[in-house]
Structure 1
């Protein structure tokens, strides 16, 4: 009896230890389960919210032609001055990534999205009251561009948290929103222009953007809320990513490929007119290319999940460059131009689907927001691709638009080579999934 009494505390102690051990194991398991990337689930709601934001943030450039013909037609160099409205928007959309990071670290994701939403809406609504070109620089250019940057960079920092194996296709669907926006928004805005005028068109579109962007604010939220702690600026925006060789190669490739991206979309309608086609033919070329671009971005994401992000991007860039050099260079009729528009549109947009996944693959989740901001900042140089090709075309004395064709084609081919360099820097195996 004495021995049995002495054993009871020992047995109870052992049982207690085992229970505590089991609880610890369960907690560790549960924590690991919570941290496991769902690869879908609520992530698809994030995709819907991000798509709605990207969809409404593009396509407003259709207003430039209307202002040029109807409002500022008597101003010398109106076309040149108005072209800087879109340039300002693109510059601020790419430059304000670090600002988005800082604000998100201070106020959180939801507040930054709301700030971006109201900057976009206010920028477009106030643009409707513009009676000077510089008013458009401030509204449609700076306010709108800054709002797009705050929303895009914040959403792109959140969306990858929900996906792993399906990350490429998810972000491809998000990126395809701009292709659909470029296709659909002109068909909304042109009838509004004709019936209500430019002022009310901007106001109506501003409220449309407000509705879609508020949907994004409601749906988009962090899967794992960042800890609220005071951080130094250097810890929020990590410039040390520039010490990563692979990231620098990627940033260079991103800049070069976008140098050629905008040129066909800027000049295909003008080229069609020069070749003797009608205005409607030129518009249909851009519409067909935008539709193909929408499909191509999703396909790029699907293929990237299966064959590797860098591999697919390099292939798509090479086909974009070769189609520009070998088809557009010799295309003078509607059929050949339409073939080029569809092929180029399908392959040229892979960057927009893969910019976030490639940056994340190289840097990891912790340094990803800073890397994405820096890649977007390098894109500021790419905004001037059409201007550079125009300067070359004007001084070359060759056939009109030849410099545009060659410059765009070479930019895509060179960027494809840079992507191949990145692939072998990440993994020297030829058939590696990179």
Structure 2
């Protein structure tokens, strides 16, 4: 029992699997919801008489706030714990979606479902990711992969349910119902009881050259600087090469990575595909993810990938970008089905590894701050990506150009992360080899230097 009579749990214990189930549901609710926005894209555009650029600001605000709220979420997690933070997020989601159903202008939609709802999604999602890192130690990679399966289930069910609700009650009635559905994040948060810290053990942490005493909060640092590093790890961004590669690579990746989720349905319907069949494409991506993500997690745990997860991740990013060429080149329904298969498989690997790669890169001690800054930088490109794509459609009238742009952004980021990581590995291997050679040379020369002294040297010593 913790202080105040609150029951605590041990890592990797039986209750950890219950928490994992709650995290899966929370991720299904929070990450699955944005995937259904494409179903309402045309109706929102017609309802508010908005352009593609204006309409695309709605999903971009939702996704950007979902990521940008990371530091604020970290503050709440430290102050109130993951349990309360997830429940606060569920409450904000419910309030935001219910009020959005009464929006009279698209700006109202930005503020309610976009800002308030997006912030609620952020708190529920990111706090659930954080608690999973403390509940699982030995099986952390597998737990992250299984938890991301919840997002896949959400991506499969949200578009199907949304299409039925849209036909029955319209987008306003759908958003009202969504508010009640997202309140279930509060139930998920209630399951996440505080976890008992394990006995102190040496953990391999990624330290920066600026940490002279081996900790991120040295006594020589001011309180303000320590607080900044705690929630936004700028010291890692400026001093940790692998964190730099991963953060900048993923930040550039998401500029095009999320575009298919918003523009696939409009692209399909503009080519004469019925709306119900177009919504099925998004569900297909989710259904494939359900089975592919656990497989990706198991594959990533194989010994051959030990210490090489970044290469697997960058390879999946590259393939994900190239898959957009299929969608951009052919608009027939069989071609779009093929595209969804390639896109979802590579997406499964990305989703199952992204948090694990970050944890391995910086260690759990620095994960909250690294994660906060990581999501802030992500949110910038997420915010501008869909509006830029909408502007492209407004000027050209062609949705396929969005998928060509996505190919360029995602593929280039995957190649950058892969080659940059390889360069760092080569540099570190060369440095280790030089250090080992110098140590061996010094060790072989030391007996000779100490066993033989000239008479003059002996006199000096004596």
| TM-score of Structure 1 vs Structure 2, range by shorter chain | 0.7 to 0.9
User: Which residue of structure 2 lines up, in the alignment, with residue 236 of structure 1?
Assistant: 230
User: Which residue of structure 1 lines up, in the alignment, with residue 417 of structure 2?
Assistant: 419
TM-score (ref. length: structure 1):
0.79
User: Which residue of structure 1 lines up, in the alignment, with residue 380 of structure 2?
Assistant: 381
Cα pair distance change 1:366/1:394, threshold 3 Å: same
User: Which residue of structure 2 lines up, in the alignment, with residue 324 of structure 1?
Assistant: 324
8 Å contact from structure 1 (residues 168, 301) kept in 2: yes
The alpha-carbon deviation at position 358 of structure 1 amounts to 1.1
Cα pair distance change 1:215/1:422, threshold 3 Å: same
Aligned partner of 2:96 among 115, 123, 142: 123
* Stretch moving more, 146-155 or 208-217: 208-217
Alpha-carbon deviations, 1:153-178, whole Å to 9, x = none? 22222212233453223112222222
Cα pair distance change 1:422/1:300, threshold 3 Å: farther
The runs of 5 or more residues in structure 1 that have no matched partner are 1-33
Cα pair distance change 1:372/1:66, threshold 3 Å: closer
Aligned residues: 389
User: Which residue of structure 1 lines up, in the alignment, with residue 217 of structure 2?
Assistant: none
For residues 294 and 374 of structure 1, what CA distance do their matches in structure 2 show? 29
Aligned partner of 1:201 among 162, 174, 183: 174
SS in structure 2 of the partner of residue 102 of structure 1: helix
For residues 37 and 265 of structure 2, what CA distance do their matches in structure 1 show? 16
Alpha-carbon deviations, 1:107-152, whole Å to 9, x = none? 3333322221211121122223333332222221111111121222
Aligned partner of 1:102 among 75, 87, 90: 75
User: Which residue of structure 1 lines up, in the alignment, with residue 153 of structure 2?
Assistant: 180
Between the two structures, name the one with larger relative contact order (CA 8 Å, sep ≥ 6): 2
The alpha-carbon deviation at position 235 of structure 1 amounts to 5.2
Aligned alpha-carbon RMSD (Å)? 3.2
Aligned ranges 1:15-414 → 2 under 5 Å? 38=12, 41-57=14-30, 58-59=32-33, 62=36, 66=40, 69=43, 73=46, 75-77=48-50, 80-219=53-192, 221-224=194-197, 233-234=227-228, 236-237=230-231, 238-242=233-237, 243-306=239-302, 307=305, 308-325=308-325, 327-383=326-382, 384-392=384-392, 400-414=398-412
Cα pair distance change 1:259/1:164, threshold 3 Å: same
Cα pair distance change 1:153/1:136, threshold 3 Å: same
For residues 126 and 342 of structure 1, what CA distance do their matches in structure 2 show? 36
For residues 202 and 276 of structure 1, what CA distance do their matches in structure 2 show? 27
The alpha-carbon deviation at position 37 of structure 1 amounts to 5.9
Cα pair distance change 1:235/1:277, threshold 3 Å: closer
TM-score (ref. length: structure 2):
0.74
Alpha-carbon deviations, 1:265-321, whole Å to 9, x = none? 233333334444333332232222222233333332222222242122122122222
User: Which residue of structure 2 lines up, in the alignment, with residue 8 of structure 1?
Assistant: none
User: Which residue of structure 2 lines up, in the alignment, with residue 31 of structure 1?
Assistant: none
Cα pair distance change 1:387/1:234, threshold 3 Å: closer
SS in structure 2 of the partner of residue 400 of structure 1: coil
The alpha-carbon deviation at position 53 of structure 1 amounts to 0.9
The runs of 5 or more residues in structure 2 that have no matched partner are 1-7, 200-222, 429-462
8 Å contact from structure 2 (residues 11, 135) kept in 1: yes
The alpha-carbon deviation at position 375 of structure 1 amounts to 1.3
